[in-house]
């Protein structure tokens, strides 16, 4: 490369003229020469080209191996294709599609009409694809073409977002149905009392009022449970820090629920105080819900047993058992779902809201515990809660 050696001759001329002017003005010759040397030297440096600096090293070419290293540990599945053949699949993509997809035709690897349509469009774009790897999966596929030969496909999983949206929709629909049922009963009986007030005898009027009162209480319980569930879900990531004795709390809550005629059927065995970190109000609600369910769905002449004892070295186990009809095996995985009932008619007749076990599940999760339900038809049901003991 030719070196640029041109000098600022115009600047040198101006410097000479300025020197002559200073001498004419009577300034010392040596002072003028010193100023001129500094001025000329600065002009020389300005006009000179900076020295070439040799590079430390030759730039590393951007190879396929480097691309693979960059995307290998990304949580997002990424495929890099060359002429529609997969040349790179990162770890997440290999888990999703299998290791065999490398060097395979991308259309054969995906085997999905919408994905193939995106690939054959020949342009960068995106598409939402259902059932790409598993039947209920939902993926957003982003495709970027590079130089018409290379292609990068990014797979973003949208399944959880869709599940959450579906769960919210189902919850609103179920809650609306549960609220509408007692409201319809209350409105119907109130309208009957208002329209036929002079035609109804006192006995029938009292029966109608009892029904209105019962449905209003049911509505109140439902709203209360909905508020409790919402509050517990809002706090589920905040582990309770209060130190409390679980034994006396379980004994007190179980006896309060049993009270009256049911008290004779309660068999309570609490073998200590069991210090734990917890929310006293929520734990008491958990015990009340479990014991109340055991009485509601057990035989009226059979006992309900509540046991609290140590399990292992660091956990305490609460067991609530009733003897009754039991629950079929196909219902067990769904019992903690909101508004799930194995027998809707019986549940509503007993005053249940369908939220009791959902509340229990969220309370147990907030306390970093485990919930288990076992049941056999004709023998009864056992609910086990494991909670960590405090150090």
pLDDT at 139 over 80: yes
Residue with tokens 């055991």: 294
Confidence (pLDDT) at 238: 86
Name which of 12-16, 68-72, 149-153, 157-161 the model is least confident about.
12-16
Query: Quick one: which of 229, 141, 226 has its CA closest to 175?
Result: 226
| Cβ-based neighbours of 88, under 8 Å, separated by 6 or more | 64, 67, 68, 71, 78, 79, 80, 102
**Structure confidence at residue 172 as a pLDDT band (50, 70, 90):** confident
Other Cβ atoms within 10 Å of 94 Cβ, number: 16
Contacts of 240 (CB under 8 A, 6+ apart): 277, 278, 279, 282, 366, 367
More confident residue, 201 or 355: 355
Q: How far apart are CA 355 and CA 336, in angstroms?
A: 8
Rounded-to-integer distance, Cα 135 and Cα 6, Å: 74
Q: Give Cα 391 distance to the centre of its chain.
A: 30
**DSSP bridge pairs for 308:** 270, 318
Question: Comparing C-alpha atoms, which of 141, 18, 149 is closest to residue 82?
Answer: 149
Q: Is 245 in a helix, a strand, or coil?
A: strand
Topology adopted by domain 243-388: Heat Shock Protein 90 (3.30.565)
pLDDT of residue 54: 55
Measured CA to CA, the distance from residue 375 to residue 378 in angstroms comes to 9
Domain regions of the chain by residue span = 9-47, 64-157, 162-234, 243-388
Helix (H) or strand (E) holding 362: helix 356-366
Q: pLDDT: is 339 or 155 the higher one?
A: 155
236 or 267, which is more confident: 267
The pLDDT assigned to 339 comes to 81
CA atoms within 13 A on the CB side of 269: 12
CA 212 centroid distance within chain: 41
- Give CA–CA dist 374/331, Å, rounded: 11
In which band, very low, low, confident or very high, does the pLDDT at 45 lie, cut at 50, 70 and 90?
low
Q: Let me know: does 334 contact 387? Beta carbons within 8 Å.
A: no
In whole angstroms, give the CA distance from residue 225 to residue 24: 104
Q: Which CATH superfamily is domain 64-157 in?
A: PAS domain (3.30.450.20)
Contact indicator for 16, 25 with CB cutoff of 8 Å: no
**To the nearest whole percent, how much of the chain has pLDDT over 90?**
23
**pLDDT the model gives residue 151:** 84
pTM of the model: 0.59
How confident is the model over 58-74, as pLDDT tens digits? Answer: 555 545 566 677 888 88
Cβ neighbours for 345, distance < 8 A, ≥ 6 positions apart: none
> Mean of the pLDDT values across residues 158-175?
75
Give the mean pLDDT of 195-207. 78
- Which pLDDT score, from 0 to 100, does residue 2 have? 47
CATH of span 162-234: 1.10.287.130
Q: How is the beta sheet containing 85-89 ordered, strand by strand? A: 85-89, 78-82, 150-157, 138-146, 125-130
Instruction: For residue 153, give the nearest of 176, 180, 127 by alpha carbon.
Output: 127
Secondary structure (DSSP) of 248-308? HHHHHHHHHHHTGGGGGGEEEEE-S--EEE--HHHHHHHHHHHHHHHHHHB-TTS-EEEEE
pLDDT at residue number 384: 96
Mean pLDDT of 39-44: 63
Distance of CA 22 to the CA centre of its chain: 82
Rounded to 10 deg, the angle between the 280-297 and 246-258 helix axes is: 40
Look at residue 265 and tell me whether its pLDDT is greater than 70.
Answer: yes
**Over the stretch 289-322, which tens digit does the pLDDT of each residue have?**
999 999 988 888 899 999 999 988 899 999 999 9
């Amino acid at each position: 490369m030719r070196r640029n050696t041109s000098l600022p001759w115009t600047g040198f001329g101006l410097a000479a003229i300025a020197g002559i002017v200073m001498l004419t003005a009577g300034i010392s010759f040596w002072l003028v020469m010193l100023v001129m040397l500094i001025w000329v030297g600065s002009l020389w440096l300005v006009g000179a080209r900076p020295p070439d600096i040799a590079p430390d090293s030759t730039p590393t070419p951007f190879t396929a191996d480097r691309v693979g290293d960059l995307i290998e540990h990304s949580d997002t599945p990424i495929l890099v294709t060359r002429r529609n053949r997969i040349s790179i699949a990162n770890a997440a993509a290999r888990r999703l599609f299998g290791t065999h997809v490398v060097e395979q035709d991308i259309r054969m690897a995906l085997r999905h009409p919408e994905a193939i349509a995106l690939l054959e469009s020949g342009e960068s774009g995106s598409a939402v694809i259902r059932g790409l790897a598993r039947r209920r999966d939902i993926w957003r596929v982003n495709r970027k073409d590079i130089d018409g030969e290379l292609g990068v496909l990014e797979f973003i999983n949208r399944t959880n977002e869709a599940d959450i949206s579906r769960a919210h929709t189902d919850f609103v629909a179920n809650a609306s149905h549960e609220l509408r049922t007692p409201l319809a009963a209350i409105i119907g009986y109130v309208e009957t009392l208002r329209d036929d007030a002079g035609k109804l005898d006192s006995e029938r009027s009292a029966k109608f009022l009892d029904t209105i009162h019962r449905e209003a209480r049911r509505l109140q319980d439902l709203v209360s449970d909905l508020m409790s569930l919402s509050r517990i879900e809002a706090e589920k990531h905040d582990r309770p820090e209060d130190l409390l004795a679980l034994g006396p709390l379980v004994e007190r809550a179980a006896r309060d629920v049993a009270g009256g005629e049911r008290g004779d059927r309660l068999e309570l065995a609490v073998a200590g105080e069991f210090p734990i970190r917890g929310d006293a109000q929520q734990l008491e609600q958990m015990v009340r819900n479990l014991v109340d369910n055991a009485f509601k769905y057990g035989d009226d002449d059979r006992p309900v047993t509540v046991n609290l004892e140590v399990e292992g070295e660091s956990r305490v186990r609460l067991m609530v058992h009733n003897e009754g009809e039991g629950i079929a095996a196909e219902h067990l995985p769904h019992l903690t779902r909101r508004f799930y009932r194995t027998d809707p008619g019986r549940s509503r007749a007993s005053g249940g809201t369908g939220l009791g076990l959902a509340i229990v599940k969220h309370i147990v999760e907030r306390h970093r515990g485990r919930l288990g339900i076992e049941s056999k038809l004709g023998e009864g049901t056992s609910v086990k809660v494991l909670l960590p003991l405090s150090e």
